[in-house]
Amino acid sequence: DSGVTQTPKHLITATGQRVTLRCSPRSGDLSVYWYQQSLDQGLQFLIQYYNGEERAKGNILERFSAQQFPDLHSELNLSSLELGDSALYFCASSGTPYNSPLHFGNGTRLTVT
């Protein structure tokens, strides 16, 4: 158990809809990362927060947004969903922003129909 909790585990929704994915980092970790993993694809970095502030942005679509709250949990909001957004979405946390391992949750599997 990595200590990172993601909810929900599965999400099925229709195109055009909006969903929110939630992540609770490991106790004490200040950094939260969001990744997307599509079938046969590697982990694509979306966005990173450190202690409530956005630290880095990757290949995150404008339809997607995220935030990290004062209690350090994070939410990833996906809107105007398209079929191609179907993927596994992982949250990871780390203790420091530099050169420490990421610890991943078990992901949210999003299916857009």
Determine the 3-state secondary structure of 103 from DSSP.
Answer: strand
Nearest residue (CB) to other proteins, 21 versus 103: 103
| Residue 83 DSSP one-character state | G
Q: How far is the CB of 106 from other proteins (least distance, A)?
A: 5
Q: How far is the CB of 15 from other proteins (least distance, A)?
A: 25
Neighbours of 9 (CB within 10 A): 10
Q: How far is the CB of 34 from other proteins (least distance, A)?
A: 12
Nearest residue (CB) to other proteins, 45 versus 61: 45
> Which residues would be at the binding site for other proteins (CB under 8 A)?
2, 4, 6, 33, 35, 40-43, 45, 48, 55-56, 58, 90, 92, 97-99, 101-107
Nearest residue (CB) to other proteins, 43 versus 60: 43
Alpha-carbon span 90 to 92, nearest angstrom: 7
Please say whether the beta carbons of 108 and 88 come within 8 A. Answer: yes
- φ/ψ (deg, to 5) at 52: 95, -10
Residue 96, token pair as written in the block: 């420091």
Nearest residue (CB) to other proteins, 9 versus 18: 9
